[in-house]
Each structure stands twice: as structure tokens, then as C-alpha cells.
A and B are shown apart, each in its own frame.
Chain A
Amino acid sequence: MSTLKEVVAGTREIARAMGVTLKTLLTEPPVTVEYPDEPMAVYPRFRGRHELRRYENGLERCIGCCLCEAACPTGAIYVEAAENDPNNPVSPGERYAKVYEVNLLRCIFCGDCEAACPVEAIVLGHYIDLAGYERRDFILTKEDLLNPPVPNTVVRPDA
């Protein structure tokens, strides 16, 4: 008698489990993002590849203070500062970054450089296609940082 009860209960449970999966099959569309073809959805504060920003008048924000270099826990940032030419300034401050390099192989995308920057020059953007063929490809020069690629991402609507 108890066996019979067990069988009935077990059958009911199996039927319920199979019902759940069948319902999923029939009603739920796939959630897969076909990434290279479709943009990836990221949160607004997602930390991707670094960018150096400019002011609207075209002057670079970075004043070469090297705070980001000091804040970086892995030593991924290298900054070499130089004095601005007063007649033809690169940045609004006294100094600017002559060399600004980010080593993506060391970077852990913690965002401490953003937090340390007094002028909000260095930010972590939404670009995530960070593959390369050579180690050299992972050193971002100032040129790369000032001209960030357009990210293949969209900001999540539910964020």
C-alpha cells in the first residue's frame, strides 16, 4: 500500500517536472545574446576599456598629476608629465600628460584610477572587445585612450 502511494506521488512529481520543462520550451523565448551580431547589454557603471576625456573646447582634461598611477593597485598605469606651453596649452592646468599608457594585461578594472582622478579625465568606458594577437596590443597609448572605439554595447534598460 505504501509502495502504491509512493508510486502515485512519484509519478505526480515527475509529471509536474516535465510540465515545467515543456512550458519553458513552448512559452519562453531564448535569452541568448548573439554577441558579435547583437550588442551586449551592460549596466551604466560597467567598467570596460579606459578612456581619456577632453573638455568641450578640445583641451585634454588630464593635468598630468599622476594620482591615477599612484592609486593603481597593479601598477598598470604609466604617466609622464610635462609643462604646458602657455601659448598653446594641451590641458587647462600647468602640466599635461606627455605619455599616458595603460597596460591592460595588468589592469584589473577596479576603477580606482577613475576615483583618484581630480578632473575626471580617466574613466572606464563600456568597450569590452579586449582581444589581441600580441602583447603589444594590450598597451593602450595616449592616442588610443583619447580616441576610444565605439562600444558594441547597450546600457541595460532595467538598471
Chain B
Amino acid sequence: MSLVLVAAIKSLVLILLLLTGFAYLTYYERKLLARFHVRLGPNRAGPFGLLQPVADAVKAIFKEEVVPNHVDRVVYLLAPALSLIPALVVFAVIPLAPDLTVFGYTISFTITDINVALLYILAITSVATYGVMLAGWSSNNNYALLGALRTASQMLSYELPLSLILVAVLLTTNIGRETGTLSLVAIVQQERPWWLWLWLWLAFPIVFICMLAESNRSPFDLPETENELIAGFQIEYGGIKFALFFMAEYISMIAGSALMASLFFGGWRGPLATPGTWYGPLVGFGWLFFKIVALLFLYIWVRASIPRIRYDQLLQFCWKFLTPLAILYLIATAIIVVFVP
């Protein structure tokens, strides 16, 4: 009973945190993009425009709820939730801070430390594709359907190199211990020699590109291209239902950054984030937050710099370049893991 209760409370706090994070990520993105464009960005609502996300939320919630006549009603209403929930659920296995021990009771800052965490993340992010596909299908609209088809092939294609690199990362968890592990908590805590850090950072660009494609971010935002598909799968959605898709995209950005931070940059680890001290969790969370914000900056920086690529280029790049590269990397990692230590 208490197990369920604790997990429920943790989840609730995390969801609130993520939704706030989403709201302020839109603010962060708009401000940063504005500065990239030599503009000021939102600055009217509240000091420095800090209340802009609140205003946006109020607007989205109080919009009239419109369900067009020609849609498949049940699936149409289900789709936004189906794309948001996986983005949120990914966070269940990401360690946010080192454990805190108070009065002999250990509080873990991970909702659940399961031993198949990475597999779980890959499975869940694939489910997110369904949200988009069902949205496109149930909208009964040509543009929406085309957008959904693109999403399907894009997300499934980029899952492949991403998974291959994650397998390579998994292989390295064998180093310095008897067996490897899929648990993110264990991966974050793993002590890596300096050459292993460098080797893993070599794979970071590939993973980052895959993450861009996975979360439909520019320059891979083909499912929602404004100029050819109007808004792709989101076209028949308005008000809070549109906001849910928006949330899904941004929260999957946060989740992707958290995952990359945990795998490649040590998650919550950093100076002063010592496990077992009272300030450790706080500093640890601060480090993770900093790393996520830095990675999100990278997402936005790429969006401000690189134009959208053509669809055939997108798939060609994935299948003819990224996937072979990932396979080569996987083989090289396997050789290193077997022979070097």
C-alpha cells in the first residue's frame, strides 16, 4: 500500500514539475529564438514576459471545444492523450538525484528503478508514434494523414540507429563489473574511465540527431511542415487538444535531454552532488537541471540555424548513413569492451 502511495505522490510531483517545465520551456524557446533572430521575444505579460506561459495556458484551456463532424470521434479524442502520456511516462525511470536518507528511511528520487529501464524507454517512445498516427488517421483529412504517414516512417526509422547506439552504451556498462545493466540508476552511478567518456561522446551527435527526429524537432519537423502540410497531423485539433500535442512534443524534448544527460553526461553527477549528504540530492538535481537546460539550448540552437530538410533526404540520411554508422560504432564498442580492460 505504502509502495503505491509513495510512487503515486512522486509521480504527481513529477508531472506537475514537468508541466511547469513544459510551460517555461516554451518561454525559454521563444526568448532564445527571439535573441537568435535579433528580436526581444515575449515581454508583455509580467516582468520579462514571465507570465506568458500562464496566459497561453489560460487561452488554450478556455478555447471552445470543437470536434469536427467528419472525424472518428473516439480515436480523435484519444490521440492527444496517447501522444502525451508516453512522453510523461518516460520520466518514471530517470534518476533525478542521489538517494536521500532521513531518519533511517531512504528516499529515492526515481519513481521506479526497474532493471529494464532502457528497454522500457525504447518501448514507450514507440508507443508515442501511435498518438500521432491515430491523430492523422482519425482526423479524416488528407494533410493530417500525410503528416501521420511521415511521422510513422520517420519515428520508426530513427528508432533504429538510436537503439543501436543505446545498445553500445549498454555494452560499456560491462566495464569494471561482473554484469552489465539496463537500469538507468546504475548507469548514472557507474564509474567510467576517461577514455570511455570520450568514446561515448563520439556517439552523442548520432543520438542527438536521432532525438531531434524522434521528437519531430526542426530540422526534422516534417510531420508538421507549415508550408506543405499546413500543420500535418495537428490540423483538425484546436484549444487544449492542440496544446496536448504541443506538450507532448516539448515534454519528449525534455525527456530526450534527460535521457541523453543520464547516458552521456552523468545525469545528476557533478561536483558537490555527493550521495549520502543532506545537500547531495539538491545539488544533484541542480546538475541534472543544468544539463537538461544546456541540451535544450542545443535543440533550440539547431532550430534557429538549420533549415528543414527534404523528406527523401531525411530517410536516406537515416538508412544510408546513420544506421551503418551506428552499426560500426556498435561493433567497435563491442571490440573495446572485450579487449581493452
Contacts and interface: CB of A to CB of B under 8 A. Distances in A.
B38 interface: yes
Most chain B beta-carbon contacts within 10 A, residue among A18, A25, A28, A29? A25
B301 interface: yes
A20 B321 contact: no
A132 B183 CA distance: 64
Nearest to A29: B38
B40 A25 contact: no
Contact of A22 (B40, B301, B321): B301
Interface in B21-59: 32, 34-36, 38-40, 43
Chain B, interface SS category:
helix
A30 B301 CA distance: 17
Interface in A20-41: 20-22, 24-25, 28-32, 34
B124 interface: no
A18 B305 contact: yes
A49 to B, nearest CB: 26
Given A7-B321, A17-B306, A34 B301 contact: no
Contacts of B39: 30-32
B34 A21 contact: no
Q: How large is the interface on A (under 10, 10 to 19, 20 to 34, 35 or more residues)?
A: 10 to 19
Nearest to A21: B305
B321 A31 contact: no
Contacts of A3: 321
Contacts of B43: 34
B302 interface: yes
Nearest to B34: A30
A21 B36 contact: yes
Contacts of A22: 301
A31 to B, nearest CB: 5
A30 B321 contact: no
Contacts of A18: 301-302, 305-306
Given A3-B321, A7-B321, A30 B38 contact: yes
B38 A14 contact: no
B306 A24 contact: no
Contacts of A30: 34-35, 38-40
A21 B301 contact: yes
A107 B182 CA distance: 72
Interface string B306-323: 100000000000000100
22 contacts: A3-B321, A7-B321, A14-B305, A17-B305, A17-B306, A18-B302, A18-B306, A20-B305, A21-B36, A21-B304, A21-B305, A22-B301, A25-B32, A25-B35, A25-B36, A29-B38, A30-B35, A30-B38, A30-B39, A31-B38, A32-B39, A32-B40
Q: Which 7 A-B pairs have the closest CB atoms?
A: A32-B40, A21-B305, A18-B305, A30-B40, A17-B305, A21-B304, A28-B38
Interface of B: 32, 34-36, 38-40, 43, 301-302, 304-306, 321
